[in-house]
Structure 1
């Protein structure tokens, strides 16, 4: 928490909860992108794969809300030394990630809710996710669908930028940046 004294080691790495949320959400987002990209090659499984896609999206939304609360109540470690433009870009990329991990699943949920023929969202067969109270309209559903797809494509670019930046800072700049977020590399 902000008011607690932290040791230098604690300040140099993220908490276990932050690391778990980072990797869980990140891997689920990548899995969901992969499902959409490959489902056309599996015509017989396409409907099932889209069911997984929707359930994973709801899970990402729930975990993202937890992550945002955690981030607001727990100070991250300071960034290693870097140029001002790199810090600015890092902050922008992280802001966009936080925005997208909420907006993408929410836009998908709104898309399904606005569709004229409801396609229920099953959360891994455990329960049906209720539809959001929006007007059922083809035009509205298409708008939400387009926003969902555009943000999904933008997320691919953000992932590439995020990974490239982390690798550059760790290996080129020698900042040991990966130790902050990869559990096996933590210097505790």
Structure 2
């Protein structure tokens, strides 16, 4: 039995599940990261877990994309096709780079039990809080993914602070990674908005079945 044209334009079920799972996690992390000062404290709790999950699912999605031909694009102008390809490429790159930078950010601390960790606890970074707490900060345990799996830290970043003399360099690196991660979040938001705007343009203005390609409608 021949495949109906509308089925040939639809992504595979695996691609659709990966698309919407990653999309939901990205929206959560954009909200919990970029709007963190405005949201309830607990909203940020699973930011790292969602980021690592985005990274893993994106690796699976890239592998699936490289081994399975996607359906043909809908009819559109040349510049629209070029823009769509560029936005998709940059989105794939952001889905890998931004979570990885978050992983590096979490790793940018002295290894537990090392001389650097002891020195860092005795010499905390200068705080800009006008009313700092008199209580010393409680030592943090390992970072857990969805409270189940311990996140392994990236050794090249983590071991910089193994010795006391390496802690200042590690703190400077952490500040740079934090800036990069924040800018990456804003870039991700811009790409997501472009992606959504393009899909709605084809669906509403061009009256094409764009959303049905991803299982909607």
TM score, norm. by length of structure 2: 0.75
Report the Cα distance in structure 2 between the residues aligned to 1:26 and 1:145, rounded to whole angstroms: 23
Quick one: distance in 2 between partners of 1:108 and 1:101?
11
Q: Is the 8 A contact 1:65 1:102 kept in 2?
A: yes
Cα offsets for 1:60-98 (capped at 9, x unmatched)? 111111111111111111111111111111011100110
Distance in 1 (CA, whole Å) between partners of 2:91 and 2:56 is: 15
Distance in 1, matches of 2:216 and 2:46, equals 30
Gaps in structure 1 of 5+ consecutive residues? none
Alignment check: 8 A CA contact 1:11 1:76 kept? no
Matched, 1:178 2:203: no
Aligned pair count reads 177
Larger Rg: 2
Match of 1:100 among 94, 97, 101: 94
1:154 aligns with 2:187: yes
CA shift, 1:145, in A, is 1.2
Tell me the SS of whatever aligns to 2:71: coil
What does residue range 13-162 of structure 1 map to in structure 2 within 5 Å? 13-41=10-38, 45=41, 48-116=42-110, 120-134=142-156, 135-136=160-161, 137-162=170-195
What CA deviation, in whole Å up to 9, does each residue of 1:36-69 have, x standing for no partner? 24432456x3xx5444100111111111111111
TM-score normalised over the length of structure 1: 0.86
The 8 Å contact of residues 34 and 182 in structure 2, kept in 1 or not, is answered as no
Alpha-carbon spacing, 1:87–1:9, altered in 2? closer, same or farther (3 Å)? same
- Higher helix fraction (1 or 2): 1
For each residue in 1:118-150, what CA deviation from the matched residue of structure 2 results, as whole angstroms up to 9, or x when unmatched?
763211110210100123411211121111111
Structure 2 portions without partners, runs of 5+? 113-139, 162-169
Name which of structure 1's ranges 130-139 and 112-121 shifts more when overlaid on structure 2. Answer: 112-121
Tell me, yes or no, if the aligned pair for 1:169 and 1:177 is still in contact at 8 Å: yes
1-structure distance, mates of 2:71, 2:108:
41
